[in-house]
Each structure stands twice: as C-alpha cells, then as structure tokens.
Structure 1
Amino acid sequence: MYKTDICILGAGPGGATAALHLANKGIPSLLLDKATFPRDKICGDALSGKVVNELRRISPELPEALGVRQESLPSWGIHFISPGGHKLSVPFVQDYNPTEDAPAGYISKRIDFDNFLVEQVRRRPEITLWENTDIAKYERTPEGGFILKNKQDEPLVQAKLLLVANGAQSGFTRHVAGLQLKPEHFCAGLRAYYKGVAGMDADNFIELHFFKDFLPGYLWVFPLANGEANVGVGMLSSAVSKKKVNLKKEMLRMIATHPSLKQRFANAELVDDIRGFGLPLGSAKRSISGDNYMLLGDAGALIDPFTGEGISNAMISGRWAAEQAAASLQTQDFTAAALQSYDKAVYNRLWKELRLSRHLQKLLNYPWLFDKVASKASKNQALAETISCMLNDVDLRERFKQPSFYMKLLFN
C-alpha cells in the first residue's frame, strides 16, 4: 500500500492546480484519476480571464504556452442575447486590440485543456500521477487520515489528507462529506459539437441565448479553433422537473426553428453525440472541508450560478487547498477545525461573486426586465460599457441588486 501525506483525487483543473502549487512549494503529492489522459469532459469549453490568471499564478509562462497551441482559440468577450433578441456585448477587457493584446480568455475543448495541465503535472518530479485508478471505498484510519480501496476491496493508498477534486458525481462528497445537492442548486446540461455553424463572432465572443420559451434556461454557442462550435443548453434541475422539460428535444427545436439560429445552423453538421452532465452550483454556502479532507471545484459545488463557469473556480479552490495543505503539514494538524481556514479563504474569494450571480440568475424570473436592460444597453454605448464593467468587477456588480439601478433604466 502506497503511503503519502497528501493524496489528490481527480486530475482535472482543480486537482492538477493543487498538485502544481504543492510542487512549487517542494511538497510531494499523489494525484489519482480514474481516467487515462487525454480524456473528454463534458463542458462548455470556455476559459475566462480568471483561468488565465490562475495559470499565471502556477507559472508566468503558462498562458502563453496555452495560447500557442493550435487547439486554443483566443476569445475577447460574451454576447448576452435577451429574451426579446437584444444583444448585450460584454468584452472581457475594455478597449482591447486583438492584433496586439494578449487574449483575455480562450476556448479550448476540455480534452485538450485538461491534458495541457496534466502535461505540466508529468514534468514535475514532486507529483506522482496514477491514471486509470478508480477509488471505490474510503476508510478512516485510527490515527486519522484515510485508506483508499478499489472495487475489489484492495487497499491502494493511505493518506493523512485528501484533496477531493473528482467532480460533480463525487462519491466522497455524498457518502463521506455527507453533502446532498438540492435541485434548486443544481443545473442539468447538454453539450454537442457542431461543424459549419455560420455567423460566429470575428473576435470569438461566446454566446449565451436566453429565449422566452426556454427560461429559466439558456442556450450557448461557443466557437472552437477547428471550425467547430460547442453548442449546449442548461437549466436548473428544479425547473426541468417542474416543467417536465426534455432538454435534448428543446435544444434541437431551438436550433431548427428559432429565427436567430435557424439560418446559422442550416448547413451545420452534428459531429458528436449530444451528451448530458450536471453542474453543482455555488448558489449556497456549504462546508467544503472536514477532518482530513478538503473539497475542490465541482466536488465542492463552486460553479457560477449565472454563467455556469466552473473551471476558474476549481483552479482557485485548488490553489487555496495547496496553501492549506502546506500549513497543515507544518503543524501536522488535519482536523476539521484547522481546515476551516480553507473554507474561509475560498469563500472570501468567491462568495460575493457567487451570491451576485445567484441574484442575476433570479433576474431570469423577470424576462421583461432582463430584456429592458439589454435593449437599452444595445442602443447606448455608455450604458453598455457600464454594464460590462459591472459584470467584470464584482464590487460594481453589487449595483445589480439595487432597485434604483433598474428604476433609472426604466424611466430614463
């Protein structure tokens, strides 16, 4: 049985980031994943400016290393298309120059981006990577820590501290941490890859469409480097259940019949199966640590409730988990009380943002108001820039919670 101080479950963005930050501190870790890389992960594939910042924190040259890969497409912003068809364009940075500036974000299939991070992992002697390793059982040891076993009940690893980054369907989260997600804090999604979608943005803005007959869900269209597009839908599980929505049927219907999409998809070809996935949303605070463990990324339910972004938040949690693991190693204190510092650090960084995104999510219950905001902004450059700044700056975003903001919009 392999013995280690730190074992990381899951080599996606959260787990790989944690391992790399530990390696930067000279701290060894064991990184496990049930898959063999490269492997696919169902996702929207967008990498925001927050992802770029987290890559830079691992190593300053990583954003450029990602950017020169042919499968990475530079992206400069988001188009929000309101229920009334008004387009609100939000650049990731104001006054950008695509020919001179370093990209603020990227779009890259997860099979490529996750493998990019794992390639960095493979270069580090401090990290032991075990692929194709499926952990089925977690047993506590008398002295603290865990013994990890496979499906054959064979003990594989003994660890003092677990960094749990094995995704939305984490058995550890449900059965050991005891966290159960309520449907109002869980989003159901579908993803497909299409070839030949017309009318993509010249600066590779990603698109979020909020159609009246699909609220409170949304449809996305994200360009990809190979001329394909990532197309998908997402809706709160509570709404899917209440409205008895068939997501696949609705997605195909909107692509085939909606005036803003029909012509764009007229000659498009579906090049992969339409696949489903779940998004545990960070719209409620949870305990993301306990005796001898921390929950990272999707395993800790840290996905943005409004945009569905999860990669950057997973990487942020990975960075703070590495900080806490280093501190706990020094004191040899892996108790829940000691690891509470991890919860505080993650939520100090993310909670304000998550809470405000939850507020924006609720705005979808008032489509007429959402439409009014987008309509006015589409005709008023100053207002569009103000909203762009609000969406990119979490402190300015507080104004979305103020009734006075909407009153001024409605009556000016």
Structure 2
Amino acid sequence: MLHHDICILGAGPGGATAALHLANAGHRCLLLDRASFPRDKICGDALSGKVLSELRRIDETLPARLAAAPMQVPSWGIDFFAPNGRRLGIPFKPKFDKATDHAAGHVAKRLDFDNFLVEEVRQRPEIDFRENVDVARTERTPTGWQLLDKAGQEVATCRILLVANGAQSEFARKVAGHALEPDHHCAGLRTYYDKVTGLSPDNFIELHFIKDFLPGYLWVFPLPNGQANVGVGMLSKTVAAKKINLRQRLDEILTTHPTLAPRFANAERLGPVRGFGLPLGSKRRSLSGANYMLLGDAGSLIDPFSGEGISHAMVSGRHAAIWAAQAVAKADFSLEFLKNYDKAVYNRLGQELRLSRVMQRLLNFPSLFNIVANRAVNNPTLAETLSAMFMDLDLRERLRQPGFYFKLLFGGK
C-alpha cells in the first residue's frame, strides 16, 4: 500500500499548485484525482492577474508559456454593464499597449488550463501523481488518514491530507462541517457559444448586471477561435426564494435583452448548458483540523462578487504546501498548529473577500449599483478598485488607508 507523509486529493489548480510548491521545496507527495486529464470543469474560464502571479511563484516561465499557448486569449480588461445599461470599461492596465505589454489576464477553458498545470506536475519526480483514483471514504488513523475506494479497499495512508477535491467535497461537508448555506452559495450555469457578435477586440470579459435578473449576473467571456463562455450566477438563497429557473432565464435573456439578443441572433450553442454550485468566501470558515487542510472550492474560498475561484485555490495551495512541509518537519499535525494555515490564507484573501461581499450586496439595490457605475466613469479610485479585485494589485494595502474610502465614495485621484 502507498504511504506518504503528504497526500493531496484533487489535481485542479489548488491541488496541483500545492504539489508543485512541495516539489520545488524538495518534498515528496502523493497527488490523487478521480478523473484522467485533460478533463472538463464547469467554470467561467477567466484567469485573472492573481492567477498569473501564482503561476510566477511556481515557475517564472509559466506566465509566458501560458501566453504563448493557442488554448488561451489574452484579456485586457473588464466591461461592467450596469442595470441602467451603462457600460463601464475597466482595463487591467491603464493605457495598455498590446504590442509591448504582457497581458494582465487570460481566458482559457478549464479543460485546457487545468491540463496545463497537470503537465507541469507530470514532469516532477517528487510528485507521485495517480489519475482515475476515486477516494470514496477517508478514515482517521492514530497517525493521520486512511484513504479507501468504493469497495472499501485501502488506496493510501498519509500523515496530512490536503483536500482540494472541489465544491462538492464530501470531506469538507462530513469531516470539516462545511454545510451548504444558501446565503453563502451561488448557483451557476455555463455553456459555450460560437459566432457571438460584438465581442471586445481586446478580449475584455463582460459582466452584465441586468435589472430584472438581480442579484444575479450574466457573463460573456471570449475564448480562442471566436468562441465564448456564457453563463449566469445567482445566490442559491435567491434562486430558492424566488423559484427561479436559471436555464429558462438564461435563454430568455439571450433572446429578448435589447443589447444581448442581437449579438446572439446567429450564435450557435456548443454542447449542453451545465449547472454547478459555488461555495462562496462571504463567510469565514475553518480551513483546517487535525491532520488536514481544505484548499480552494473545498474550503469555500470563491469570490462572492466575481465568482472567481482559480486564483484563490492557487493561493491556498501555495500556503498549504508551506504549512504541510512545516507540519512534517515538526511532526506537529495538530489542529492548533494547522490554524497557522487559516491565518495565512485569510491574511492574503480576507479583506478582498469582505469587499466582494459588500459589492455582492450592492446587487440587491439596482439604483445604488447604477450610481456606483455612473460615478466610476469619473472616479479613478473606484474604477481601479473594481479592476484590482480581479488583478494582483495590492488591494489590501489600500483597504487599510482611511482616506481610501473617502476617495472611493466621493471621487478624487
């Protein structure tokens, strides 16, 4: 049977990042995934500047290699469409020059991006990577965890388990006690289209806040070969309370909305509309316990405003690698010691998650949202803040400055 000090469940961005950082530091680990790669993952497919920062921390050459890959398009900003129809275009880099600047973001199907990371994993002898391994159950042992398949056969044992197996993680629910809370959970749909017209020549990602669909939003993200990722997201609490049929509403919006309908008139849907659930980081939850840590979606770390989860998974993967290595070195896998992981993750992401929660609540007040959008046009601080939520600008430092909030509300440079 396989025994490792460190075992990682799930080879998505969080798990792969943790494994690669451990390998960089010379630590061996076992990485298990129930799928074989490449495999699809339902997602918006946007890769923010924070993703590029995390890639650079793994290997300085990774962002350039991603940028050179045909599976992605470089994205230069975000178009917010307010409920009053006003477009607020926010470039990731002010006055960008596509000829000389590195793109600050990208859009790539998760099928391709996750495989891009897994290909890095495959190159590393320190990582024992096993696909098509379905860990159906975990059992506590005196020294850590025993991992079992559906037949009850032992797959592996380990001293510390990094749980990165996604939003539906049974471990997160049953062991860590992460209940599905409709006020901190988003229901989403995603599909792919060909021949959508009016996409930004600079591949700006589009977020549409439509008056009679609030507090949800619709996105259109450009992809290679003229395709687009199109989807909707809304708080599960609202979906249940208003008995909203998201599939029906998506179709209605794309066929009747005055701005969107003409753009989708001759578009072709590629494949089915697929649903998914997003556990949001709008509530601070425990990310660790004795002999385990939760990463990414399994730790409910998704941005409550933008729905972005890839960069947060990668941030948590990096910190999980650091603290797993320290736990092994000190032979201390206690709940108390691993709380250092929680502190590290929330120190990096906590204030951004709080700000996003405030932005998310704005969606309940369309008129207020319109005011924010109107004001952002002439308010560089507000425009930059919206941009910074998607990038790796150090938003945390700004949030600590008292004058920042005055500028945010009342303008000024």
| Whole-angstrom CA distance in 2 between matches of 1:9 and 1:254 | 38
* Aligned match of 2:347: 348
**What is the correspondence of 1:75-86 to structure 2 with a 5 Å cutoff?**
75-86=75-86
* Aligned match of 1:54: 54
* Aligned match of 1:12: 12
3-state SS of the aligned residue for 2:171?
helix
Code of the residue aligned with 1:204 in structure 2: it is N
280-289 or 385-394, which deviates more: 385-394
Q: Write out per-residue CA displacement over residues 213-257 of structure 1, whole angstroms, 9 at most, x where no aligned residue.
A: 000000000000121000000000000000100000000100000
Q: By how many angstroms is 1:402 displaced?
A: 9.0
Code of the residue aligned with 2:112 in structure 1: it is D
Q: By how many angstroms is 1:404 displaced?
A: 5.8
* Aligned match of 1:323: 322
* Aligned match of 2:392: none
**What is the correspondence of 1:189-208 to structure 2 with a 5 Å cutoff?**
189-208=188-207
Code of the residue aligned with 2:104 in structure 1: it is A
Code of the residue aligned with 1:87 in structure 2: it is R
* Aligned match of 1:150: 149
Q: By how many angstroms is 1:94 displaced?
A: 1.8
Q: By how many angstroms is 1:403 displaced?
A: 8.4
| Whole-angstrom CA distance in 1 between matches of 2:75 and 2:311 | 15
Q: By how many angstroms is 1:202 displaced?
A: 1.0
| Whole-angstrom CA distance in 2 between matches of 1:184 and 1:401 | 31
**What is the correspondence of 1:8-407 to structure 2 with a 5 Å cutoff?**
8-142=8-142, 144-378=143-377, 380=378, 383=379, 385-391=380-386, 392=388, 393-396=395-398
3-state SS of the aligned residue for 1:272?
strand
| TM-score after normalising by structure 1 | 0.95
| Whole-angstrom CA distance in 2 between matches of 1:400 and 1:97 | 33
With over 3 angstroms needed to count, the CA separation of the structure-2 counterparts of 1:342 and 1:255, relative to structure 1, is: same
| Whole-angstrom CA distance in 1 between matches of 2:325 and 2:400 | 34
| Whole-angstrom CA distance in 2 between matches of 1:245 and 1:405 | 38
With over 3 angstroms needed to count, the CA separation of the structure-2 counterparts of 1:96 and 1:403, relative to structure 1, is: closer
Q: Write out per-residue CA displacement over residues 341-385 of structure 1, whole angstroms, 9 at most, x where no aligned residue.
A: 00000000000000010001011111101112212434x3xx2x3
3-state SS of the aligned residue for 2:224?
coil
3-state SS of the aligned residue for 2:264?
coil
With over 3 angstroms needed to count, the CA separation of the structure-2 counterparts of 1:283 and 1:407, relative to structure 1, is: closer
3-state SS of the aligned residue for 1:231?
strand
| Whole-angstrom CA distance in 1 between matches of 2:47 and 2:96 | 17
| Identity rate, percent | 58
- Tell me if structure 1 keeps the 8 A contact 2:74–2:103: yes
Q: By how many angstroms is 1:90 displaced?
A: 1.6
| Whole-angstrom CA distance in 1 between matches of 2:50 and 2:308 | 10
- Tell me if structure 2 keeps the 8 A contact 1:44–1:230: yes
Code of the residue aligned with 1:125 in structure 2: it is P
With over 3 angstroms needed to count, the CA separation of the structure-2 counterparts of 1:395 and 1:215, relative to structure 1, is: farther
- Tell me if structure 2 keeps the 8 A contact 1:186–1:281: yes
- Tell me if structure 2 keeps the 8 A contact 1:87–1:375: no
Code of the residue aligned with 2:166 in structure 1: it is G
- Tell me if structure 1 keeps the 8 A contact 2:192–2:227: yes
Code of the residue aligned with 1:17 in structure 2: it is T
- Tell me if structure 1 keeps the 8 A contact 2:32–2:133: yes
Code of the residue aligned with 2:88 in structure 1: it is L
3-state SS of the aligned residue for 2:319?
helix
| Whole-angstrom CA distance in 1 between matches of 2:193 and 2:209 | 20
Code of the residue aligned with 2:372 in structure 1: it is V
- Tell me if structure 2 keeps the 8 A contact 1:7–1:30: yes
3-state SS of the aligned residue for 2:119?
helix
- The number of equivalent residue pairs is 404
3-state SS of the aligned residue for 1:4?
strand
175-184 or 237-246, which deviates more: 175-184
Q: By how many angstroms is 1:397 displaced?
A: 5.5
With over 3 angstroms needed to count, the CA separation of the structure-2 counterparts of 1:175 and 1:396, relative to structure 1, is: same
| Whole-angstrom CA distance in 2 between matches of 1:406 and 1:238 | 29
3-state SS of the aligned residue for 2:11?
coil
With over 3 angstroms needed to count, the CA separation of the structure-2 counterparts of 1:396 and 1:403, relative to structure 1, is: closer
| Whole-angstrom CA distance in 1 between matches of 2:359 and 2:25 | 38
| TM-score after normalising by structure 2 | 0.95
CA RMSD of aligned residues (A): 1.6
- Tell me if structure 2 keeps the 8 A contact 1:291–1:339: yes
| Whole-angstrom CA distance in 1 between matches of 2:408 and 2:290 | 46
